[in-house]
Amino acid sequence: MEVNIHEAKTHLSRLLERVAMGEEVIIAKAGTPVAKLVPLKVRPKRRVLGSAKGEFTVPEDFNDPLPKEIEDLFYE
């Protein structure tokens, strides 16, 4: 599908819906194509809560205070 710039500005939401459905939209200025709207091929992978369960263990001393020499580095 090809549209002019004015039509693209006026109907951007509608054009993006068509692009989301897989259609490519060419935007032209004075009949000359200048841009192409295309759907994204890669969608971010959805995170699954607990998917790393069993892959690591939290050390027993995790919540213990830092050693003095490391703590001092934060207050220089």
Identify the structural domains of the chain with CATH numbers, from first to last: 1-40 (3.40.1620.10)
Looking at residue 73, what is its pLDDT? 93
| Dihedrals phi, psi of 5, to nearest 5 degrees | -60, -45
Looking at residue 75, what is its pLDDT? 86
CA 34 to mean position of chain CA atoms = 25
Q: What is the pLDDT of residues 8-60, one digit of tens each?
A: 999 999 999 999 999 999 999 999 999 999 998 777 788 889 888 899 899 99
Query: Which structure tokens are listed for 66?
Result: 């830092």
Q: What is the pLDDT of residues 8-19, one digit of tens each?
A: 999 999 999 999
Residue 62: pLDDT above 90?
yes
- Please report where in the chains the tokens 């690591």 appear, as a residue: 56
Whole-model pTM: value is 0.53
